[in-house]
Amino acid sequence: MRRIFIIRHGNTFESSADARRIGAATDIPLVASGHAQAERLAAWFAAQDFPIRRLHSSPLLRARQTAAAIAAATGHPLDGPLPWLNEIDHGPDENQPEAQVLARLGQQALTAWDEQAIPPQDWKVDAESRLTAWKNWFAQKGEGADLLVTSNGAARFALLALGLPLQNLKLRTGAFGELAIDETGATQLIRWDERP
């Protein structure tokens, strides 16, 4: 059986900071709490009894830092960044305060994004190529676990590629989802948005 873990990077803002929309155009590092989340993820994966087949991240620093912690704890080397795991581009909302994004787009548009992955106006998502990349990844054969460290905007397309939408597609920072693929190619969602 093949297992795929879709992992969201750790925090990039301290809890006291105002929330902002951070996407592909803003390459910021983890903050202290984000490093702590990465270490918890790393400890959890190191304690599991399955062989890691591959460990990839998006090209963004926050994802690479999270993946590096997992690599150090598990002893599995980083297999390099995959561009299709990169975060989406929030267009005019990139790096803007969440209140300002809400005022521009409205709650309905943000809910449609969170629940159905319908991108708000002027966001650059490239949904078709993301869906294709996830489908191609899932179609690969093999045993063991694939660990893919990414961002919230990219992670949601994994479920959509499999026709497994949830009521809420979001992954919290420092959380992961797990999928199992058997030898026939049948996929089962084991869990989503779980923090160790």
What is the tens place of the pLDDT at every residue in 124-173?
999 999 999 999 999 999 999 999 999 999 999 999 998 876 777 889 99
| C-alpha–C-alpha distance, residues 108 and 25, integer Å | 24
The answer as to whether 23 is a domain residue is no
Residues 47-62 as b or e (16 or more Cβ within 10 Å = b) = eeeeebbbbbbbebeb
pTM: 0.94
Percentage, residues of the chain above pLDDT 90: 81
Tell how strand 144-150 and strand 52-57 pair up: parallel
Q: Is residue 40 part of a domain?
A: yes
Q: Which domain holds residue 59?
A: 2-15+30-90+124-194
CATH of the domain at 159: 3.40.50.1240
Q: How far apart are CA 129 and CA 132, in angstroms?
A: 5
pLDDT at residue number 15: 78
In a domain, 70, yes or no: yes
Residue 166 lies in a domain: yes
User: Over the stretch 35-81, which tens digit does the pLDDT of each residue have?
Assistant: 999 999 999 999 999 999 999 999 999 999 999 999 999 999 999 99
Query: Angle 195-143-151 (CA atoms, 0-180°, nearest 5)?
Result: 35
Place of tokens 């992954």: 171
Q: What is the pLDDT of residue 39?
A: 98
Q: Is the pLDDT of residue 115 over 90?
A: no
98, 21 contact by CB (below 8 A): yes
Report if residue 190 sits inside a domain: yes
- Percent above pLDDT 70 for the chain: 99
Instruction: Tell whether 47 is covered by a domain.
Output: yes
Q: Does 116 have pLDDT greater than 90?
A: no
Q: Residue 127: which of 137, 141, 116 has the closest Cα? A: 116
